[in-house]
Amino acid sequence: MLLVDVRKSWQIPLTHHLLGKWQSMAVPEQRYTPILRGAYRNDPSPMQIVSGPYGREKVHYEAPPATQVPEEMARFIAWYNKISPSKSDKKIPGIARAGIAHLWFEVIHPFDDGNGRVGRAIADHTLSQSLGYPTTACLAQDIAREEVDFVLAKTRFYEVYGDELNDRQARMVSRVFTEGRRGFEGGITTRKYEAITKCPNRTASRDLSDLVTKGIIIPLPGGGRTTRYELTIVEPTRPGLVRGRNK
């Protein structure tokens, strides 16, 4: 959907609404770990780019606080539209405009999630305006790279943890991986584990506790009475995004 919309929208100015729509397309709705979609972030906790294992993260960058995002985005959008090829007498090379726009947007990091994908959509929007016809080269490359990254992460997971899994645990992990990069909606639960492995509740609880002890799964926050887990998948080494309060 995002690829199609970027191609359709290349001739229109950038707006807050358009960016919010792109972000909603880039970030699927999640029932148990809600992410603000279609609007700029409003969480007061720091938005940081980090790398490294949990508990030993290295902070590479901290974005402007949420209270400054609307003003920063208004300034960015005004600049972007002012120097569009159809309005500006001063012709800025398309590659230069795309690079500046992408960097500026990522520095603001205005959304809870999906900033990378939306940033590349902006780059494609810029290049399309410069070329005079629609292109989605950046987004297409991004999607292909994510698929490759997922395969590499899956391979690395089995290299690290494959020998630690019993038959039931291996069956559950395989089922999670079939769901793709985001895994199960709502995470892994005892009930889901029972359904997949056809084992009794006590065995499911014991297997899940064993996986937690080994660091193969981690509990998700906000689960209420039902504990939910996700796989400890180590993506290829590129900095990622975290909230300061979750560290």
Residues annotated as binding site? 113-120
Please state the residue numbers annotated as binding site for ATP.
113-120
Measured from the Cβ of residue 3, the count of other Cβ atoms closer than 10 Å reads 16
Q: Which of 16, 17, 60, 109 is catalytic?
A: 109
Q: Which two tokens stand for residue 12?
A: 């229109």
- What is the three-state SS of the chain? CHHHHHHHCCCCCCCHHHHHHHHHHHCCCCCCCCCCCCCCCCCCCCEEEEECCCCCCEEEEECCCHHHHHHHHHHHHHHHHHCCCCCCCCCCCHHHHHHHHHHHHHHHCCCCCCHHHHHHHHHHHHHHHHHCCCCCHHHHHHHHHHHHHHHHHHHHHHHHHHHHCCHHHHHHHHHHHCCCCCCCCCCECHHHHHHHHCCCHHHHHHHHHHHHHCCCEEECCCCCCCCCEEECCCCCCCCEEEEHHHC
Determine phi and psi for 207, rounding to 5 degrees: -65, -40
Task: With beta carbons less than 8 A apart as the criterion, state whether 177 and 161 touch.
Answer: no
The yes-or-no answer on residue 109 being catalytic is yes
Would you please indicate which residues are annotated as catalytic (active-site) residues? Answer: 109
